[in-house]
């Protein structure tokens, strides 16, 4: 399973990322320890502007913390009851209107400043018009997996989102139109943008424009049922050429469908004779179900089970045998296939590239 | 056991605080209002969002007569209190009886309306969002009317048996406050369901 | 001033021998002090249960890919932990203290409606039992082990019959409905007590700050529980008669539930924290030997917090897609709460300033509260900025933030209140040495757990996950958090031991062990059934100060 995280780390563990954090040097490093999901390592616009705002607010609250804690400690030391003191009760002071006014007005001014800064980021993220050139993806949250539909390119995939890197000179941001097929989920890839909920019967739109190719991780951030913890997110930011090649492969009929290899053809037959087709789609075949992930190019994915399991033939076979063994709460039932059928279907799945 | 006496030489102005029963009823009304507000908000939020018929305009008729009955019962409840305060127990019993009668007319006509909607128009709480919000809002109000009627009935029986006298005026006033509240809520429900929503 | 001592001539009640007589005595009691103590004992019981749940949760998360409990069990654990702590620990323990203290502090002999008081306690008590009965009855008596697993804010449509079959969610709904009714009744009772039962001379401006804050908190409960009750009724109708309030397939709205829940849920936070402020308001002045600084400002700040808190609920919904307008508005309204809250912190600081601070157990807990509440407030400001919340919302940062409030502020104040008023209720002091042990273990455990819990949130760890992969940089932090939890558990054990030990062996307290100033310290410890033999009358906010310093009474300054 190590490959899942290593590739993501490879994308972030560069000197540049460290350099970016020099102002907070040691503390930043100690806190992060190279996390691939740190909100303090932004790599796309919304995450960047949020990071800037965070630092501003941290600086203000940090100052308030230092001042008030200092006063508190000073008061505790200076005004402690001393053994030798026998002079009775201290002077009773009941209040002072001037002082009360001061510590009402000053915080109010600080609040106004923080509010205006925050409002700027809100408007810059949520209230800007959509540019002419974008990549549009429809995201559908399902209990414990993600469906990605590319309407302009005309294909559907699941669990691994591929988007093109956006060149700052010719920006090509990705716009996600998100909705849910069942309960509320939340789309959160910390290094790209803040989270946004994926709500049934309600469309939310988010965007980001990462410039560096790499793998960005995240996961569902709204409790959505038994296996909420394993509803992981993988966003592959590809170079424009890689992305174009990937789109081309996704639009093509997978080799497993047309293969003449008898083992693969047998797997296809088993797949289509069983209930698999009620829930899954393999384009170019009779399998047209929409309840489960689109399997057209499942063989080319790095992971199965929404990023939770590395995509190897052994894992795939175990998954088909009984999904709940590997991911408790998965809605796919154990299909009770015999060993021969299991091998055949696994072969077919692996060939769907 | 003893107590440190705290006996300040205060001026002799009497120390009078608000009545417990009335304070409590006002607070209960505030708490109940919060519940009703949520149901009203839910009703307004779902106006016109039903995926299928029937729509409010198709099936609802203005319950004018029963509304007049309910609203005038507020007046009779008030008279019941004021006559009891003057120790006119017989008059109080009469006003109470009238209040109960008017309330009963209201609740009966709600029953007839629901029967009509369910059996002739085919609108149940499961039919669509209109059915869901209509029956829950009107039903919540109707259940309050029923509670009020039960309490009024207790008072009426006490009055008829001659157990009610002017010392109970405060208590009857607490009850009448509740009844005024139920009537006030009906004004809002009427406006939202039968005027705005239709 | 009259100097007659009032002598109690009531016959001493006959000694009770059978334990059944004691039980009967308590169960049928309508005395506000007994009901208060029952509330408190009941909540302590649930505190231990929900605390053990927290320990299991932390154990599960200490290392990645852990298998101590199954995902199903884990989801039940955090749901029950949250629901129990909010509804069956936080609310009852605070109302327990309110029940005990408010009548004593305003010089009344009981609550306005003693029988209603008992009724609300038993409603709340049965609510808690009903919730836990779900472990037996959630799937009918045969399918044991099916407590609610929808999270304590139970977002629709996860709670609809399609996604949550069986009866576990119904147990959750019903038990909250039941305690909700109990809470509303207690709130009305407390408010009416304060409106109609104050002793002679105690105008609203002379009422001590504890009753004042209970007044505000009760009012908040009054208007906040209604929306919860309404939403629960809607959910029950959905589940039982097939209505469509939150049924998204029939056009219902998932977001509506979220609104309704947080219209209750945010004021709820202040319902819980106001009583904690109330304890600090009594304890900090007494142990600084000074009057509270800025009494009118404190009252005004509490009232304005209550008002503003009714208009900030959607800051729990910054990530649900309300649009830029609503996000901006709720950022502002939420940030403004910092102002009255800041006023409170500054006033407490000013009360310490120039005093002669005595570091006894109650004061230690309140001082830690002051520091921790400051931090909680500052992380709250971070979360109030909507964009920052898009990152931090629903992450472990939020968990750390609100536990800083619930444990660092509220629980610490509750512990302080125990040490402060235990002598009044029991007649014996709590052991000071054990108290210091309890305090320092708790401080160490608290900071190990909740300081370091902020970090995984910053590193992208969402809440409510039963396990996680290695390599995200979360594992060390979760390990430290888990170790801190153990310290807190030990501290709580020391505390419970102290409660029990002091009951038999504590030093006899006497009427006024802390040299304090409010009315409860004028009567004997424990107070007699009728509280005060003679109805007291007061001339200032600190009647005992006036009595102890006749040459310089407060009434000259107010």
Confirm whether C184 is domain-assigned. yes
Q: What region does C107 belong to: left with phi over 0, alpha with psi -120 to 50, or beta?
A: left
Sign, Cα dihedral of B69, B71, B73, B75: negative
User: What does the DSSP 8-state code read for residue A196?
Assistant: E
- Tell me how far apart the terminal alpha carbons of chain B are, to the nearest angstrom: 69
In which band, very low, low, confident or very high, does the pLDDT at C22 lie, cut at 50, 70 and 90? confident
Q: A38 CB near a chain C CB, below 8 Å?
A: yes
Q: Residue C225 and residue B28: Cα distance in Å, rounded?
A: 12
**CA-based torsion, C84, C86, C92, C93: positive or negative:** positive
> Does residue C366 surpass a pLDDT of 50?
yes
Facing A222 at nearest CB: one of C324, C394, C554: C394
Please state at what angle helix A97-126 crosses helix C338-352, rounded to 10 degrees: 150
Instruction: For residue range B109-129, list pLDDT tens digits in order.
Output: 999 999 999 999 999 999 999
Helix A313-321 vs helix A339-351: angle between axes, to the nearest 10 degrees? 130
pLDDT surpassing 80 at residue C14 = no
Can you give the pLDDT at residue C533?
86
The DSSP code for C428 is: B
| Mutate which: C230, C265, C526, vs B, most B CBs within 10 A | C230
C251 touches chain A (CB under 8 A): yes
The whole-number average pLDDT for the span A179-206 is: 96
Torsion angle in degrees (nearest 10) through CA of B37, B43, B44, B50? 160
Q: Which residue of C has its CA nearest to B32?
A: C226
- Model pLDDT for residues B178-189, shown as the tens digit of each residue: 999 999 999 999
Chain C contact for A334, CB < 8 A? no
Of C356, C370, C462, the CB nearest to A81: C356
Tens of pLDDT, residue by residue over B23-67, are: 999 999 999 999 999 999 999 999 999 988 899 988 999 999 999
CB proximity list for C135: less than 8 A, separation 6 or greater? C144, C145, C146, C147
What's the average model confidence in pLDDT over C288-301?
Answer: 95
Indicate left, alpha or beta for A38 from its phi (over 0: left) and psi (-120 to 50: alpha). beta
Residue C422 has pLDDT above 60, yes or no: yes
Task: With cut-offs at 50, 70 and 90, classify the pLDDT of residue A117.
Answer: very high
Q: Which pLDDT does position B3 carry in this prediction?
A: 46
Q: Is residue B165 part of a domain?
A: yes
pLDDT band at B10 (very low <50, low <70, confident <90, very high): low
φ, ψ (nearest 5 deg) of residue A187: -95, 115
- Residue C101 confidence (pLDDT): 97
Residues C446, C71: Cα–Cα separation, whole Å? 26
CATH code where residue B129 lies: 1.20.120.80
Q: Give, in order, the Cα–Cα distances in Å from C301 to each of C263, C298, C306, C340, C343.
A: 21, 5, 9, 5, 7
CB contact under 8 A, A200 and C557: no
- Over range C367-390, report the average pLDDT: 96
DSSP C430: P
Per CB-CB distance under 8 Å, the chain C contacts of B10 are: 200-201, 537, 539
Kindly list the domain boundaries of chain A, sorted by start residue. 2-76+98-126, 135-241, 255-351
Using one digit for the tens of pLDDT, what is the confidence trace for A69-113? 999 999 999 999 988 877 889 999 999 999 999 999 999 999 999
C165 touches chain A (CB under 8 A): no
The neighbours of chain B, by the rule of 3 or more Cβ pairs under 8 Å, are C
Task: Extract the tokens encoding A54.
Answer: 């965070």
Separation CA A291–CA C175 (nearest Å): 35
- Contacts of B114 by beta carbon, 8 Å cutoff, 6+ apart: B135
pLDDT at residue A23 is higher than 90: no
CATH level 2 (architecture), domain A255-351: Sandwich (2.60)
Categorize the per-residue pLDDT at A19 as very low, low, confident or very high, splitting at 50, 70 and 90.
Answer: very low
Binary contact (C378, A196; C-beta < 8 A) = no
pLDDT recorded at residue C105: 96
Predicted confidence band at C165 (pLDDT cuts at 50, 70, 90)? Answer: confident
Give the tokens for residue C84: 């129990």
Q: Which residues contact A296 (CB under 8 A, 6 or more apart)?
A: A155, A156, A157, A250, A254, A281, A282, A283, A284, A352
Residue B128 forms part of a structural domain:
yes
Tokens matching residue B131: 């059915």
Average pLDDT over residues C391-416: 96
**Given an 8 Å threshold on Cβ–Cβ distance, is B27 in contact with C192?**
yes
pLDDT for residue C79 is more than 50: yes
pLDDT of residue C15: 65
Cβ contacts (< 8 Å) between C381 and chain A: which residues? Answer: 57, 61, 114
The string of DSSP letters for C331-398 reads HHHHHHTHHHHHHHHHHHHHHHTTS-B---HHHHHHHHHHHHHHHHHHHHHHHHSHHHHHHHTTBHHH
Query: What is d(CA C335, CA C315) in angstroms, rounded to the nearest whole number?
Result: 10
Contact B7 C534 (CB under 8 A): yes
Contacts of B31 in chain C (CB under 8 A): 184, 187-188, 222-223, 225-226
Which is it for the CA torsion B86, B91, B97, B103, positive or negative?
negative
Mean pLDDT calculated for residue range B131-154: 96
For the cut 50, the answer to whether the pLDDT of residue B157 exceeds it is: yes
- Separation of CA B133 from chain center: 19
Whether B10 contacts B161, CB under 8 Å: no
Contact A223 C395 (CB under 8 A): no
Query: Side by side, which strands form the sheet with A204-208?
Result: A155-158, A145-150, A135-142, A174-180, A204-208
B48: helix, coil or strand?
coil
CATH number at residue C404: 1.20.210.10
The domain containing residue C244 runs over which residues?
Answer: 26-527+535-551
Nearest residue in chain A measured CA to CA from C377: A61
> pLDDT tens for residues A300-341?
999 999 999 999 999 999 999 999 999 998 999 998 999 999
- Interchain contact, C184 vs B31, CB within 8 Å: yes
Q: Copy the structure tokens of residue C252.
A: 């219902």
Higher-pLDDT residue of A259, A280: A280
Residues 229-268 on A with a CB inside 8 Å of C are 229
Element housing C550 (H / E): none
* Residue C236: closest CA among C180, C184, C188: C180
- Tokens 């563990």 found at: A13
Query: How far apart are the CA of B51 and the nearest CA of chain C, in angstroms?
Result: 6
Find which of C226, C233, C257 to mutate to test the B interface (most B CBs within 10 Å of its CB).
Answer: C226
Put simply, whether A333 touches C (Cβ < 8 Å) is no
Look at the block and give the residue holding tokens 């536990």.
Answer: C403
**pLDDT at residue A26 greater than cutoff 50:** no
Band of pLDDT at residue C124, cut at 50, 70 and 90:
very high
Q: For residues A245 and A236, what is the distance between their CA atoms, to the nearest angstrom? A: 13
ipTM of the complex: 0.92
Backbone angles phi, psi at C346, to 5 degrees: -65, -40
d(CA B4, CA C524): 9
Pairing of strands A135-142, A174-180: parallel
- In this predicted model, what pLDDT tens digit does every residue of C237-294 receive, in sequence order? 999 999 999 999 999 999 999 999 999 999 999 999 999 999 999 999 999 999 999 9
- Among chain C residues, the shortest Cα distance to B49 is held by C251
Residue C144 Ramachandran class (φ > 0 left, ψ -120 to 50 alpha, else beta): beta
The rounded mean pLDDT for chain A is 90
d(CA A155, CA A226): 30
- Pick from B136, B160, B129, B159: which is nearest to B36 by CA? B136
- Residues of A whose CB is below 8 A from C466: 229
CATH number 3.40.50.10860 is the correct assignment for the domain at A135-241: no
C359 Cβ under 8 Å from any chain A Cβ: yes
The residue written with tokens 């576990």 in the block is: C168
Q: Give chain B positions within 8 Å (CB) of C3.
A: 5
Residue C7 inside a domain? The answer is no
Average pLDDT value for residue range C132-138: 81
- 3-state DSSP assignment of residue A160: strand
Mean per-residue pLDDT, C231-236: 96
pLDDT, one tens digit per residue, over C490-529 is 999 999 999 999 999 999 999 999 999 999 999 999 999 9
> In chain B, how many domains are there?
1
Angle, alpha carbons C358-C364-C369 (nearest 5°): 130
Q: Percent of chain C at pLDDT above 90? A: 86
pLDDT of A86 reads: 78
CA pair distance A43, B105, nearest whole angstrom: 69
A47 contacts chain C (CB < 8 A): yes
Q: How confident is the model over A9-20, as a mean pLDDT?
A: 40
C549/chain B closest Cα distance in angstroms: 13
Give me the pLDDT at residue A3, please. Answer: 44
| Confidence (pLDDT) at B62 | 92
Structure-token match 């609920």, residue found: C313
| DSSP label of C88 | I
| Mean model confidence pLDDT for chain C | 92
Residues of B in contact with C1 (CB under 8 A): 7-9
pLDDT attached to residue A20: 40
Q: Is the pLDDT of residue B2 over 60?
A: no
Domain count for chain C, please give it. 1
Residue A7 in this model has a pLDDT that exceeds 80: no
Q: How far apart are the first and last CA of chain A?
A: 21
Shortest Cα distance, chain A CAs vs residue C328, angstroms: 6
A306 touches C: beta carbon within 8 Å: no
The parent domain of residue B151 ranges over 61-196
**Under 8 Å between Cβ of C369 and C416:** yes
Interface present between A and B (3 or more CB pairs within 8 Å): no
Q: Are C235 and C256 in contact (CB under 8 A)?
A: no
Residues of C in contact with A226 (CB under 8 A): 71-72, 75, 149
Closest CA to C290 of C342, C354, C349: C354
Angle ∠(C176,C244,A139) on CA atoms, nearest 5: 100
What distance in Å separates the CA atoms of residue A302 and residue A1, rounded to the nearest whole number? 10
pLDDT of residue B73: 96
What pLDDT score was predicted for residue B78?
96
Task: Please compute the mean of the pLDDT values over residues C391-397 and round it to a whole number.
Answer: 95
> What local confidence, expressed as pLDDT, does residue A83 receive?
84
Alpha helix (H) residue ranges in chain A: 2-12, 15-20, 25-32, 45-78, 97-126, 240-251, 255-258, 262-273, 276-279, 313-321, 323-326, 339-351
The reply to whether B27 falls in a domain is no
């Amino acid at each position: 399973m190590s490959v899942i995280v290593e590739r993501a780390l490879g994308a972030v563990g560069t000197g540049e990322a460290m350099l970016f954090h020099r102002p907070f040097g040691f503390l930043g490093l100690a806190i992060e320890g190279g996390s691939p999901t740190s909100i303090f390592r932004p790599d796309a616009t919304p995450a960047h502007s949020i990071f800037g705002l965070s630092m501003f607010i941290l600086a203000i609250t940090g100052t308030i913390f230092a001042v008030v804690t200092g006063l508190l400690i000073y008061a505790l030391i200076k005004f402690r009851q001393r053994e030798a003191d026998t002079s009775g009760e201290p002077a009773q002071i009941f209040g002072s209107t001037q002082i009360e006014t001061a510590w009402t007005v000053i915080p109010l001014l600080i609040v106004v400043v923080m509010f205006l800064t925050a409002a700027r980021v809100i408007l810059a993220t949520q209230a800007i018009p959509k540019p002419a050139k974008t990549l549009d993806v429809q995201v559908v949250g399902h209990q414990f997996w993600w469906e990605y539909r590319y309407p302009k390119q005309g294909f559907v995939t699941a669990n691994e989102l591929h988007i093109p890197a956006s060149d700052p000179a010719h920006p090509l941001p990705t716009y996600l139109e998100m909705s849910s097929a069942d309960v509320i989920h939340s789309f959160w890839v910390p290094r790209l943008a803040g989270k946004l909920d994926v709500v049934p019967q309600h469309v939310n739109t988010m965007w980001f424009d990462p410039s560096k190719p790499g793998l960005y991780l995240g996961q569902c951030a709204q409790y959505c049922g038994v296996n909420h913890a394993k509803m992981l997110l993988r966003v592959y930011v590809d170079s424009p050429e890689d992305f174009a090649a990937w789109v081309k492969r996704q639009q093509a009929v997978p080799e497993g469908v047309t293969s003449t290899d008898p083992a693969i053809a047998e797997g296809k037959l088993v797949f289509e004779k069983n209930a698999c087709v009620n829930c899954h789609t393999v384009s170019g075949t009779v399998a047209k179900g929409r309840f489960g992930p689109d399997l057209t190019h499942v063989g080319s994915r790095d992971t199965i089970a929404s990023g939770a399991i590395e995509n190897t033939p052994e894992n795939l076979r175990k998954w088909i045998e009984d999904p709940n063994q590997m991911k408790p709460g998965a809605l796919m039932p154990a299909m009770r296939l015999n060993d021969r059928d299991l091998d055949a279907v696994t072969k077919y799945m692996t060939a769907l590239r | 056991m003893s107590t440190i006496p705290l006996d300040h030489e205060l001026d002799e102005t009497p120390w009078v605080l608000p009545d417990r029963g009335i304070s409590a009823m006002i607070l209960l009304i505030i708490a109940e209002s919060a519940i009703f507000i949520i149901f009203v908000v839910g009703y307004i939020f779902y106006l016109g969002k039903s995926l299928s018929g029937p729509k409010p305009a198709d099936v609802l008729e203005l319950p004018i007569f029963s509304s007049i009955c309910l609203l005038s019962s507020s007046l009779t409840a008030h008279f019941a209190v004021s006559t009891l305060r003057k120790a006119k127990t017989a008059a109080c019993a009469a006003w109470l009886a009238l209040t109960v009668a008017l309330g009963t007319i209201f609740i009966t006509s709600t029953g007839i309306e629901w029967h009509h909607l369910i059996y002739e128009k085919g609108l149940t709480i499961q039919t669509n969002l209109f059915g869901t919000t209509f029956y829950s809002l009107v039903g919540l109000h109707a259940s309050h009317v029923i509670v009020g009627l039960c309490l009024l009935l207790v008072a009426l029986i006490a009055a008829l048996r001659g157990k009610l006298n002017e010392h109970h005026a405060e208590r009857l006033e607490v009850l009448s406050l509740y009844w005024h509240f139920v009537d006030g809520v009906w004004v809002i429900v009427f406006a939202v369901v039968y005027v705005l929503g239709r | 001033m009259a100097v007659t001592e009032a002598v109690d001539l009531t016959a001493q009640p006959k000694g009770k021998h059978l334990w059944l007589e004691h039980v009967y005595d308590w169960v049928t009691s309508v005395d506000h002090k007994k009901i208060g103590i029952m509330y408190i004992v009941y909540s302590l019981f649930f505190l231990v249960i929900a605390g053990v749940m927290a320990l299991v949760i932390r154990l599960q998360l200490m290392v990645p890919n852990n298998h101590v409990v199954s995902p199903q069990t884990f989801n039940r654990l955090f749901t029950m932990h949250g629901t129990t702590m909010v509804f069956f620990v936080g609310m009852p323990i605070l109302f327990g203290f309110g029940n005990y203290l408010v009548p004593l502090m305003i010089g009344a002999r009981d609550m306005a409606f003693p029988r209603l008081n008992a009724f609300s306690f038993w409603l709340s008590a049965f609510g808690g039992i009903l919730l836990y009965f779900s472990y037996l009855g959630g799937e009918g008596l045969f399918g044991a082990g099916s407590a609610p697993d929808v999270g304590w804010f139970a977002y629709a449509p996860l709670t609809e019959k399609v996604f949550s079959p069986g009866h576990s969610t119904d147990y959750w709904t019903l038990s909250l409905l039941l305690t909700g009714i109990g809470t509303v009744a207690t709130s009305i009772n407390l408010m009416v007590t304060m409106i109609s039962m104050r002793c002679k001379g105690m105008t609203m401006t002379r009422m001590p700050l504890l009753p004042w804050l209970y007044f505000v908190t009760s009012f908040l409960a009054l208007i906040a529980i209604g929306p919860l009750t309404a939403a629960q009724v809607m959910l029950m109708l959905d589940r039982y008669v097939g209505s469509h309030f939150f049924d998204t397939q029939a056009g219902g709205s998932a977001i509506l539930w979220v609104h309704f829940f947080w219209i209750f849920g945010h004021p709820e936070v202040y319902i819980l924290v106001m009583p904690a402020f109330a304890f600090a308001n009594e304890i900090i002045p007494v142990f600084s030997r000074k009057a509270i600084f800025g009494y009118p400002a404190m009252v005004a700040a509490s009232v304005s917090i209550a008002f503003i808190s009714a208009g900030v609920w959607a800051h729990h919904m910054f990530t649900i897609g309300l649009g830029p307008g609503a996000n901006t508005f709720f950022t502002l309204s939420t940030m403004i709460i910092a102002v009255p809250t800041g006023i409170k912190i500054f006033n407490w600081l000013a009360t310490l300033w120039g005093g002669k601070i005595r570091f006894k157990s109650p004061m230690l807990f309140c001082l830690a509260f002051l520091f921790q509440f400051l931090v909680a407030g500052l992380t709250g400001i971070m979360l109030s900025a909507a964009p920052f919340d898009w990152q931090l919302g629903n992450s472990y940062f939020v968990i750390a933030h609100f536990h800083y409030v619930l444990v660092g502020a509220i629980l610490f104040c509750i512990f302080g209140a125990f040490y402060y008023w235990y002598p009044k209720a029991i007649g014996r002091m709590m052991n000071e040495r054990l108290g210091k042990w309890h305090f320092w273990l708790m401080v160490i455990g608290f900071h190990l757990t909740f300081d370091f819990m902020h970090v995984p949130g910053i590193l992208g760890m969402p809440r409510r996950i039963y396990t996680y992969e290695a390599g995200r940089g979360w594992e060390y932090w979760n390990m430290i958090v888990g170790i801190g939890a153990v310290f807190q558990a030990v501290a709580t054990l020391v505390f419970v031991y102290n409660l029990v030990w002091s009951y038999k062996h504590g030093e006899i307290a006497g009427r006024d062990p802390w040299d304090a100033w409010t009315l409860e310290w004028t009567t004997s410890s424990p107070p007699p059934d009728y509280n005060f033999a003679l109805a007291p009358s007061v001339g200032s906010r600190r009647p005992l100060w006036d009595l102890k310093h006749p040459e310089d009474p407060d009434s000259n300054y107010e």
